[in-house]
Amino acid sequence: MDIEDRYFKNISSRERVIFEGAITMGALFHQFVGTPVNSESAETLEKSIKEAMELQPCIEEVEVKIDRKMLEEAKSKFNYVSLNGDMLDIRVVSKYDAKKAVLRMEYIEELKYPLMYVEYIED
């Protein structure tokens, strides 16, 4: 069975590269938000998220940055916080055929929201 012909023939390569990046971004957000983290464990968590998400189909690279300042400001007397979207700066690079998409998630101060968006597409 050819998976491409069976399940993806109704979309273009451009749409597919965006789809794969967006699926990874959504999975990352919903899988890792709520994870206990502190300044000492943040680097390990960043690496774990990166390595896990790079296993997804068509994903070329994932960059994860957890805001250490926010971790310190939110830290409880138990020396950790639950990771939230405001703390994340994510870059996902997906590639399919000759197309490449870069998707981002970052906290946008004026929106007061961790926005996910397509940063650019290379055709």
**116 carries a ligand binding annotation:** yes
Q: Is the Cβ–Cβ distance between 45 and 35 less than 8 Å?
A: yes
Q: Cα separation of 75 and 72, whole Å? A: 5
Q: Which amino acid appears at position 44 of this protein?
A: T
> Where are the strands (E) in 4-112, listed by range?
36-37, 59-66, 81-82, 88-96, 99-108
104 CB neighbour count, 10 Å cutoff: 17
**60 carries a ligand binding annotation:** no
Q: Cα separation of 90 and 121, whole Å? A: 16
Q: Point out the annotated binding site.
A: 20, 116
Q: Point out the annotated binding site for substrate.
A: 20, 116
